[in-house]
Structure 1
Amino acid sequence: MGMINEKLRNELSDQLMAAVLLLRNTEESYAFFEDICTVAELKAMAQRLEVASMLRRGNTYDAIVERTGASTATISRVKRCLNYGADGYELVLERMRQKKDEKNRQEVDEDVRK
């Protein structure tokens, strides 16, 4: 994992990260983030995650702009984080890929049993 920006770390930020780790499912996550973020902030975070995913899959800026509506400045910032950041995107994208692969394997297993 990359270096965490020490300017971000403080008691309040630690408390926020601990709170996020307490969320048990998607519904709890929606409820918490709806309360703590504006709709625009949530959409921006979701957009950045999709931009990161698309960059990792080798999509062009044009394709990313078309699909997500992200500005080229946002895409550049996300790309910089992917290349030189704390590896948070990489960690999450890899875990999401693993979860998707596991789900696909389970679906194939269920189809085989039918």
Structure 2
Amino acid sequence: MTNLKAIIERNSSNLIRRLSKPKEELEKEKKIKKEHRKKGKNSKIALESTSIMQKWLLENFHDPYPTQVKKQEMARESKLTVYQVNNWFINARERVIKRFLKKDLKETQRTLSKSEEEEEDS
């Protein structure tokens, strides 16, 4: 019962504090929270920021290593540091490209084994 009473008091004091804030301040807080929405459960980079880098990665899939100038440009556009952009690309190459290559390798192996089976049947 004491826990419940403490929770109710804490919630009511938070509500009173929020109600006493000017409407403009509340709107400003909402806007800031909305701008900093996260991509996923553990992500610290906003969707808008990652979409800039994802677009570049897809366009340059054959050579996924942006120049230092391009990293600086993406950092400026995405409001991230060059360090964050650099780390994002390291992780993206690990996750996206290696998975794609593994999948492609498996498909190639399947195709080869099917053609071997067909040759044996002939």
Q: Between Structure 1 and Structure 2, whose CA radius of gyration is higher? A: 2
Bigger RCO of structures 1 and 2 (CA < 8 A, at least 6 apart): 1
Q: TM-score, normalised by structure 2?
A: 0.32
Q: TM-score, normalised by structure 1?
A: 0.34
